[in-house]
Structure 1
């Protein structure tokens, strides 16, 4: 089965007539007979809407889509709203076209602040209602709120989140061979070189293939190196183009990543030569670890889902389990914890009470705990109990996101203009890993940056 990342089938749906944004107060008993088996107390605040339907589209597919649908089952029962979800690996490419043609879903789960800004600039988005904003002010940091805000107008609350920069490995292999978790980037390099010298397999396995979005996993490597090598201030300058994309500091990050990704001694374990990074689907790229054909794989916290693609539990994610992960280390062991990450934002294309009721629920601590308890994902919602997460790693990830001492920076390519972050940067990673020089790559990406 081909797996698709939660970040990336869209069925066009015609939006219904617009109505007001104010949420309807609950009138007491719900008419849905199924509600007798559900505690509707947590859902009374959203009101009751008999016969109302809300359509949602996004990039979430397969097992994660099933769990998403399950996360609002009780909400549907108690409010009477039928929520219809369709996922698409082409969502990002299609949603603006659908919006312009009046065929957008009621809600689109957008995985990029840059895309959210583009949709807002097109005049297609409905500002968030007060209940949504109240939830964000209570449960999310100001930084997260700003990602859903354009020119002072608040359009969308955050939904799920992920931490980038995890390096997946086999705890059994590390114990048997005496490998230590690297505490610095130099120690990571030394470990990689040790595994390569032992000659049993290439240390790293990687895959950039993701349909029209092929290349995005490579951008995560560059972002992690930018943050660790140069710090949050330079990272921010890079993302906002206060320094050009071809700045020497960016070149340094590319070259550091290239010591692994472009090195035939380092990749592509269990898959092939360096060129196979482009053709190997990101969803399957880490699985050679399970067969002892590579030792290390760079991918976000959400990759937990892909170790058991059929939804089983034969591969456990734990420090003493089948697989686990450590964060890409800093330059110095005592550097403050800095992580990159991503998330999604449910934007509205139809002005209706039932649409805002759904969005208010999705921005709540109730939804966050319901969804995370189903497994495979996390959220930066401060009302989320980390202990409901499905693995030791995800508990750790939530605690990192909720820690005020963590330096968190959103995925850089998701913040950049679409012409760069979702186009030339992705394409540049493909060209670069297949032989193009660092300088030519970053010069080409820089030339693509919009003039205004």
Structure 2
């Protein structure tokens, strides 16, 4: 699940982008909006926002799954846009977003914009007939991303939702201070990772090797799907992963069952989990936000979680290669798979084609907005190729961007987000919760998910 566009380097590039944006906005606005834009002249620090002018006093509602503290940076990222254009962006986050959005849309109470982290859910929304095609400038902005992202934002070959963010899933969080104190080294192979886990357990120095939490309201279970997806991608590579997403390879296939058992070896091992909270069953009741906090108390050593987890560390936590917390790349289960990288992201879909709404669509799909968010949101990464990489001041962001932008990596989008919504954010999440809370067998988990696949 994902959770997760300001100024480009160089004034010439920025000004060129503004001119292009202006053309896109004017072509997608109604005649009254065009007239208002021509009458509104922005100057000084607000001049770069001229393309979005002409909608002063308008409020654009936006709905998503991003919660505080992460959502605080959203408000900061578009504060200047709001001040200069007079458009108010009213963002609301919900821990039950995946179930709330269909209710709102089908009930005639859709937000103007929705930040959707699952292509499967996007498809579900498009099939309602309520999602509006994006304006021309938003379409142009998507060219700044790898072509795969436009595919994930399309349904039936038609483009509907521009990517807003990207995140790196293939990470393991740990405490460099704790590792240094016990002379542990960061593993670079899967075998090394498992050997380290065994050593930490045998050392019995007060910490379990792993901690975890998959409770996330109606989205409970999604962190465990990431663990499984990493095992599938890291064991068999992209082709098997793609066939699994489309159900050409079923969950009951020996390869996927083996991947489930790979996860079980460390996350269902009562001697290895769940430091600070309890045993295996406690993983189901621990929130993903709190899952890694025992690392700071030396109650557990590692947490497999995405780059956006950085926002969950308490204020004052030093997140550096030698500090209280940091992350390392999760190595491939099978060393023959070249640099497997799982990523997630979010897409902005519109349920209104009002000119003010389209102005916001254009802005949040631009490299200008991405850059502004990078500056105020540690743990947030964009795969927008127009973003100046030097803007990343946070070492975890630099690490994430390194792998997300690696052209030689075996990159794939979060599988559960790309599966049909009934499975990816439905039966799969539910099965993962039951797997941890009730100890459901691997074969039963696989059968339960296969049986739920849409005919």
- Larger relative contact order (Cα-Cα within 8 Å, sequence gap ≥ 6): 2
Contact 2:3 2:167 in 1 (8 A): no
User: In structure 2, how many angstroms separate the alpha carbons of the residues matched to 1:51 and 1:208?
Assistant: 41
Which residue of 410, 419, 422 corresponds with 2:422? 419
In structure 1, the partner of 2:15 is none
In structure 2, the partner of 1:267 is 273
Within-5 A mapping of 1:381-392: 381-392=384-395
Deviations 1:5-43 (A, max 9, x none): 9739xxxxxxxxxx993386653754xxxx77x612321
Deviations 1:227-256 (A, max 9, x none): 000111000000011111211111011000
Deviation at 1:221, TM superposition (A): 0.3
In structure 2, the partner of 1:204 is 210
In structure 2, the partner of 1:352 is 354
Which residue of 183, 188, 196 corresponds with 2:193? 188
Within-5 A mapping of 1:36-435: 39-137=45-143, 139-200=144-205, 201-308=207-314, 312=315, 314-331=316-333, 335-376=337-378, 377-433=380-436, 434-435=438-439
Deviations 1:350-390 (A, max 9, x none): 11111111001000000000001102311111112233234
User: In structure 2, how many angstroms separate the alpha carbons of the residues matched to 1:332 and 1:261?
Assistant: 18
Deviations 1:318-376 (A, max 9, x none): 11111111121013557422211111111000111111110010000000000011023
* Structure 1 stretches of at least 4 aligned residues deviating more than 4 Å after TM superposition: 23-26, 332-335
Aligned in 2, Cα 1:247/1:332: closer, same or farther, shift over 3 Å?
A: closer
Aligned in 2, Cα 1:318/1:364: closer, same or farther, shift over 3 Å?
A: same
Deviation at 1:125, TM superposition (A): 0.1
Structure 2: gaps (5+ residues): 5-25
In structure 1, the partner of 2:444 is 440
Contact 1:375 1:390 in 2 (8 A): no
SS in 1 for 2:382: coil
Deviation at 1:274, TM superposition (A): 1.2
In structure 2, the partner of 1:14 is none
SS in 1 for 2:383: coil
Deviations 1:173-232 (A, max 9, x none): 212222121111111110000001111221111111111111111101000000000111
Contact 2:212 2:283 in 1 (8 A): yes
User: In structure 1, how many angstroms separate the alpha carbons of the residues matched to 2:337 and 2:253?
Assistant: 24
Figure out how many residues of one structure are paired with residues of the other and give that number. Answer: 427
SS in 2 for 1:284: coil
User: In structure 1, how many angstroms separate the alpha carbons of the residues matched to 2:217 and 2:152?
Assistant: 26
Structure 1: gaps (5+ residues): 9-18
User: In structure 1, how many angstroms separate the alpha carbons of the residues matched to 2:39 and 2:46?
Assistant: 10
User: In structure 1, how many angstroms separate the alpha carbons of the residues matched to 2:442 and 2:333?
Assistant: 21
Deviation at 1:281, TM superposition (A): 0.8
In structure 2, the partner of 1:27 is 38
User: In structure 2, how many angstroms separate the alpha carbons of the residues matched to 1:334 and 1:439?
Assistant: 27
Contact 1:22 1:353 in 2 (8 A): yes
In structure 2, the partner of 1:12 is none
In structure 2, the partner of 1:7 is 3
In structure 1, the partner of 2:10 is none
Deviations 1:123-163 (A, max 9, x none): 010011110000101x1111001111111211111001111
Contact 1:158 1:345 in 2 (8 A): yes
SS in 2 for 1:331: coil
SS in 2 for 1:271: coil
What's the TM-score, normalizing by structure 1? Answer: 0.91
SS in 2 for 1:197: helix
SS in 1 for 2:90: strand
